[in-house]
Structure formats: structure tokens, C-alpha cells
Amino acid sequence: MTTTAPPPLVGLEEEVDGIVVCREVVPVTHDVTSFVLEPPRPGGLRFDPGQYLTVTVEVDGQRLSRCYSITSPATRPDLLTITVKRVPGGPVSNWLHDHLAPGSTLEVTGPLGSFTRVGRPSPRQLYLSAGSGITPLMSMARTIVDRGEVADLVFVHHARTPVDIVFRDELERLQQAHPGIRVVVVCEEDAPYERWEGLRGRISGALLEEVAPDVAGREVFVCGPPPYREAARRLLAAAGADPARVHEESYELGTPPPVAPPVAPSVARAAGPAGAPGTHAVELRRSGRTLECGPGVTILQAALRDGVTLPSSCHEGVCGTCKTAMLSGTVDMEPAGGIRPREVERGLILLCCSTPTDDVVLDA
């Protein structure tokens, strides 16, 4: 999409963009924990079920950001819950598990993301999740139950073993809590001390045919590791699901983008019109630096090329870490949920997925 800089920003956003307080730490499985967070303002935080928060922590002197779904229902805005799997070698998930305790604080931004039922009100739904991909879908299901919504929901969750089933007890209670919800849990194998008596294996066409033969008429939400989502996408297409009604969530952090090649020596490096065709100047107003972006080069890529350090993390338009005010100019921006429409209206852009279409001035 193309966005143009409006007048300078006035005031602050009403969403959480700062410090929250941890009120409770709840073990979920052997490597998954829920953290209950209190927003800074009375009255809580409005969010859509399925959205996420970007969490920023300092590890070994480096600020790192990761995205975690809100798992609490939208009907209970006074406290927010994120549920985090400890990832081997994952600096942020391990920091949260090892250091976040009741009474401690955490820097967050959000809510963010478009993986939500809002605007997709079909009562016939299919949720497909694997591992910690259950987190946004649990917020959706909890909201349905809390609101007493009319729903025809098939909720399929895949886990490696029985001890890896996230929210296991609650999944068993969901069907009792709402007559329109059917829960299907599938495990790949037994746990060392527990034999799994339910369905086994991975996602398959036969499974979809068994649990949701009417998938073509359902709104489908998929969240899990990339191979799981890829398999689900292929199987849903084969089963006749409408691609426009299949929604996926993914916020795995990407690798830094390739560094843009240097501009030609003949191109001026001062502020003002750039010399090469399709090249635009990006002025960093506060630092006094000027970058040049050739065709298809994002602002963040140009900054990395020139050794300019700007806030960034996911490089995919997801986490919102590189959100910056654009004071003038226009860009092509293709975000993946990391910026709110209201923020775009107020002149914020994501540097990692913004390509200038004119000379740009940033508050950076």
C-alpha cells in the first residue's frame, strides 16, 4: 500500500506502548508458561482475539524483540495473558521464563496483527493449530465462550506427545463449556510415562475429511510452525476450502535483509533530489544523516548498507520495532501486522518494509 506523510504527530497512541507489570506466572506444560500482565492504564486494553504483543527485553546488553499472542479473552481487558514456549537457544523466551516474576515489569507494544475473527463473523469455523500455535486460537475460543456466541467451531490441535498439549485441561472443558465447540487433539507419539489413547499422526486429508467434511463452508484459522502451515494450506486447498477464507498467523523472526548494493559514486549523498533514476533520498532529521534508496530497496536495507543503526528486529513488518514517524514524503509499505491503521494515518511507517516512492524525511 502507498501512504503519504500527514501533518506532524500530535499526542500519543492509546494502546500499550510502554511498561506493564507482571501479576502472575502460571506453568502450562513442562516448557510453556503463561504470564499475566497488567496494562498501565485503568480500564485495561481493548484488543481483538488473535492479536499479539511485541515484547522487548535486554539480554547481554542488547535489546531484543519478539511477538507473543494474547491468550486471554477479549472480554477480560483488565489483565492480558501471553503464553510463551521456552525455545532452546531462544534469548527472549528463555529470559521470560528465567526472569519475569510477579511484580516485575516488561516493555510491550500492541495490540498488533490482523489474524483475528473481527470482520470475519462466520459462525462456522475451523481452527488448526500445532504446538504453541494454539495461543491466538485459544484467545478466540475463550472469547466465544465468554460471550456465549452462536458458533459451530471445530478446534483441532496437534502436539508431539500428551505432555506437550498446551492448555490440555481447558481443551477438554471447552466442549462442555459451549455446545457448539468440538475439540480434536492429535498426538504424534506417546510420552515416556503416558500412552496416548486419542487420534495419532500429523495433519492429513483424511483427518480434515473426518473432522470437517464441510470445510468449504468454514472460515479457517491456521497457526503453527512453517511446515505445519504449509501442509495445512495444501490439504485445505485439496479439500475445497476457499483460499480467501483461510487465514494464517506467523511471526517467526526473519534474518536481516540483504544489504543493498552501494549507490553509484555519481549520485549525490546530500539531502535533496537523488540523481539516479528511481533513487530517492531519505533524510534522518535528528541524526543529520541521509540515505539513498534505489528501486526495491527498503529504508532499513539502505541504513544497514551505510552502517546506520536504526531500531529493528523481525525485518518482516511484524514486530513493529522499526516503527518511525515520516515527516514528509511517500513510501510503498507492505506490513505484516506490525503497525496499526491509526498509526499509519498519523504518519508512522515500518522501515523494514517501506520503499520510498519520493524523497522522504524521517524523525530519526
| pLDDT, tens digit (0-9, with 9 covering 90-100), for 308-324 | 888 787 788 888 888 89
C-alpha cell at 127: 481452527
Cα→Cα distances 287→308, 310, 323, 329, 345, Å: 10, 11, 16, 18, 24
Q: Give the list of residues 6+ apart from residue 11 with CB closer than 8 angstroms, or none.
A: none
Query: For strand 32-38 and strand 124-130, is the pairing parallel, antiparallel, or unpaired?
Result: unpaired
In degrees, rounded to 5, the angle at the alpha carbon of residue 15 between the alpha carbons of residues 360 and 65 is 70
What's the DSSP call for residue 344?
A: H
- Residue 198's CB is within 10 A of a number of other CB atoms, namely 10
132 CB burial (10 A radius; 0-12, 13-18, 19+): buried
Q: What is the rounded distance in angstroms from the CA atom of residue 342 to the CA atom of residue 321?
A: 17
- Any bridge partners for residue 68, and if so which? 53
Q: How many CA atoms lie within 13 A of 155 on its CB side?
A: 28
Ordered structural domains, the chain, with CATH: 2-111 (2.40.30.10), 124-249 (3.40.50.80), 280-362 (3.10.20.30)
pLDDT of residue 7: 41
Between the alpha carbon of residue 343 and those of residues 11, 70, 353, the distances in Å are 12, 20, 15
Going residue by residue through the chain (364 aa), what tens digit of pLDDT does each one get?
A: 454 443 433 322 357 788 999 999 999 999 999 999 999 887 789 999 999 999 999 999 888 889 999 999 999 999 999 999 999 999 999 999 999 999 999 999 889 888 998 888 788 999 999 999 999 999 999 999 999 988 899 999 999 999 999 999 999 999 888 999 999 999 999 999 999 999 999 999 999 999 999 999 999 999 999 999 999 999 999 999 999 999 998 765 544 555 555 544 333 333 344 456 689 999 999 888 999 999 999 999 999 999 888 878 778 888 888 889 999 999 999 887 888 888 898 899 999 999 999 999 999 8
Alpha carbons 316 and 336: distance in angstroms, whole number: 7
Q: What is the pLDDT at residue 270?
A: 34
CB atoms within 10 A of CB 252: 11
* Nearest-angstrom CA–CA distance, 113 and 268: 39
What pLDDT does residue 343 have? Answer: 86
In the chain, count H helices and then E strands: 7, 20
DSSP for 138-187, please give it: HHHHHHHHHHT---EEEEEEEESSGGG-TTHHHHHHHHHH-TTEEEEEEE
Please state, in angstroms and rounded to a whole number, the distance separating the CA atoms of residues 164 and 261: 45
CA 154 – CA 222 distance, rounded (Å): 12
Element (H, E) at 300: helix 299-305
